[in-house]
């Protein structure tokens, strides 16, 4: 069996068995209770983290028009996948339906460790496989910002998933296989390129769309940012490696601000929200992402 099929078989067997040492070994791993004890959050900084992270693109109301301007975060957008349909939850400060009762540490556990408030594994439709390396200072700032948004009483909608994917305990295996702590692009990076990597591989989660996935939905790190052909009526996601995207750094940074391409086309599809968010970031941050893209290995 190919390793992935093996992994899938393992997942199904263990999903059926329901208990055992394996689940113990892949149990959720939250931060220690004092991990954020000395951190003060700054809401203004947090707004930038929120935009870089694209939180509104998924958590705004399904009929909200502009991720860059949205402030209501009631959840409800549906994400169809081969495992079933996920619905984004309410992350407004509503104390009952939202995250008003959460601590900054609860947010860090969700975003960085993929662990929910009751200690359960979260689904990677929430891109924590990318947010994994977010600094706890950025989480503290983001938390301060989220609390300034209007509370919204919309209740969460339950995901509609098939067996065994409806069992959160099986997600421990997925995390073990596909959530990695190390960076993908390594080597002798400048400070600017490192900042770009932090934004692109991390908060901006570019790879969640621009990198092909294996049959279990894990990102293929050896085909990093090489693009995804449009399947099942979906449009193509272009590759961003230097051999594929032959734009200058200035062109890339300009696109992230304005949505205009060097050949006078304008951004479309799911990239629209990314640009609406990145337009609010600093020139330095957009330039850093552009510099990072030039360091990504060419397609094999
Ligand atoms: C690609 C879509 C997407 C993006 C981007 C995204 N989320 Fe989510 N988020 C989800 C989904 C789907 C879930 C549900 C996961 C689950 O049920 O296990 C979720 C869950 C959460 C939860 C847990 C809520 C709960 O009630 O358990 C929090 C908190 C959260 N997201 C905050 C954020 C923040 C903050 C950002 C930006 C940094 C963000 N999300 C970006 C899709 C997204
Ligand atoms: C939610 C999915 C998604 C995310 C996240 C995403 N992209 Fe995109 N991106 C797309 C799609 C889809 C297109 C094609 C847009 C079009 O058809 O106009 C695209 C297009 C682009 C292009 C234009 C390439 C070309 O050849 O026209 C660039 C550059 C780009 N993205 C960079 C990024 C960067 C940098 C990030 C992370 C900060 C990012 N993208 C995050 C989906 C995404």
- What would the pLDDT profile of 53-107 be if each residue is shown by its tens digit? 999 999 999 999 899 999 999 999 999 988 899 999 999 999 999 999 999 999 9
Distance between Cα 125 and ligand 2 center (Å): 18
To the nearest whole percent, how much of the chain has pLDDT over 90?
84
Atom of ligand 1 nearest to the CA of 49: 38
Q: What is d(CA 214, CA 9) in angstroms, rounded to the nearest whole number?
A: 15
Is residue 55 lining ligand 1, measured as CB closer than 6 Å?
A: yes
Atom 9, ligand 2: which residue's CA is nearest?
Answer: 271
**Residue pair 262/268 in contact by the 8 Å Cβ criterion:** no
Whether residue 206 is predicted with pLDDT greater than 90 in this model: the reply is yes
Give Cα 108 distance to the centre of its chain: 13
Whether residue 8 is predicted with pLDDT greater than 50 in this model: the reply is yes
Q: What is d(CA 210, CA 221) in angstroms, rounded to the nearest whole number?
A: 11
Atom 40, ligand 2: which residue's CA is nearest?
Answer: 206
pLDDT digits (tens, 9 = 90+) for 33-55: 999 999 999 999 999 999 999 99
- Long-range Cβ contacts of 78-83 (<8 Å, 24+ apart): 79/125, 81/125, 81/217, 82/217, 83/161, 83/162, 83/165, 83/217
For a mutational test of ligand 2's pocket, the pick from 200, 249, 274, i.e. the residue with the most ligand atoms closer than 8 A to its C-beta, is 274
pLDDT digits (tens, 9 = 90+) for 244-284: 999 999 999 999 999 999 999 999 999 999 999 999 999 99
Report residues whose beta carbon is within 6 angstroms of any ligand 2 atom. 200, 204-206, 208-210, 235, 237-238, 240, 245, 252, 255, 261, 267-271, 274, 289
Distance between Cα 116 and ligand 1 center (Å): 10
Atom 7, ligand 2: which residue's CA is nearest?
Answer: 271
Distance between Cα 99 and ligand 2 center (Å): 30
Mean pLDDT score, 174-188: 95
Both tokens assigned to 1: 């069996």
Q: What is d(CA 104, CA 142) in angstroms, rounded to the nearest whole number?
A: 9
- Reply yes or no: is the peptide bond before residue 67 cis, omega within 30 of 0: no
Tokens 């959160």: give the residue.
168
How far is residue 162 from each of residues 12, 85, 277, measured CA to CA in Å? Answer: 12, 9, 33
pLDDT at 79: 95
pLDDT at 136: 98
Whether residue 144 is predicted with pLDDT greater than 80 in this model: the reply is yes
For a mutational test of ligand 1's pocket, the pick from 91, 118, 123, i.e. the residue with the most ligand atoms closer than 8 A to its C-beta, is 91
Whether residue 227 is predicted with pLDDT greater than 50 in this model: the reply is yes
Both tokens assigned to 299: 């397609």
Mean pLDDT score, 211-217: 92
For a mutational test of ligand 1's pocket, the pick from 51, 54, 89, 141, i.e. the residue with the most ligand atoms closer than 8 A to its C-beta, is 89
């Amino acid at each position: 069996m190919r390793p992935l099929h093996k992994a899938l078989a393992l997942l199904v067997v263990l999903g059926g068995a329901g208990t055992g040492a394996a689940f113990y070994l892949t149990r959720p791993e939250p931060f220690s209770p004092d991990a954020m004890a000395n951190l003060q959050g700054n809401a203004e900084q947090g707004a930038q983290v929120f935009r870089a992270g694209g939180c509104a693109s998924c958590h705004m109301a399904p009929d909200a028009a502009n991720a860059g301007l949205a402030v209501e975060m009631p959840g409800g957008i549906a994400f169809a996948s081969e495992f079933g349909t996920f619905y984004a939850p309410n992350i407004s400060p509503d104390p009952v339906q939202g995250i008003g009762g959460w601590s900054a540490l609860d947010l860090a556990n969700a975003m960085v460790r993929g662990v929910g408030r009751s200690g359960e594994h979260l689904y990677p439709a929430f891109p924590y496989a990318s947010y994994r390396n977010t600094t706890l200072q950025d989480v503290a700032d983001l938390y301060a910002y989220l609390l300034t948004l209007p509370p919204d009483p919309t209740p969460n909608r339950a995901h509609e998933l098939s067996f065994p994917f409806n069992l959160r305990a099986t997600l421990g295996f997925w995390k073990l296989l596909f959530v990695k702590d190390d960076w993908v692009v390594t080597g002798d990076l400048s400070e600017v390129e490192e900042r770009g990597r932090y934004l692109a591989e991390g908060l901006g989660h570019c790879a969640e769309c621009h990198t092909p996935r294996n049959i279990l939905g894990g990102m293929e790190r050896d085909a990093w940012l090489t693009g995804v052909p449009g399947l099942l009526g979906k449009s193509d996601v272009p590759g961003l490696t230097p051999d594929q995207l032959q734009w200058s750094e200035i062109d890339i940074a300009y696109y992230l601000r304005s949505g205009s391409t060097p050949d006078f086309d304008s951004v479309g599809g799911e990239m629209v929200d990314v640009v609406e968010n990145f337009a609010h970031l600093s020139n330095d941050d957009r330039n850093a992402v552009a510099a990072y893209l030039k360091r990504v290995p060419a397609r094999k």
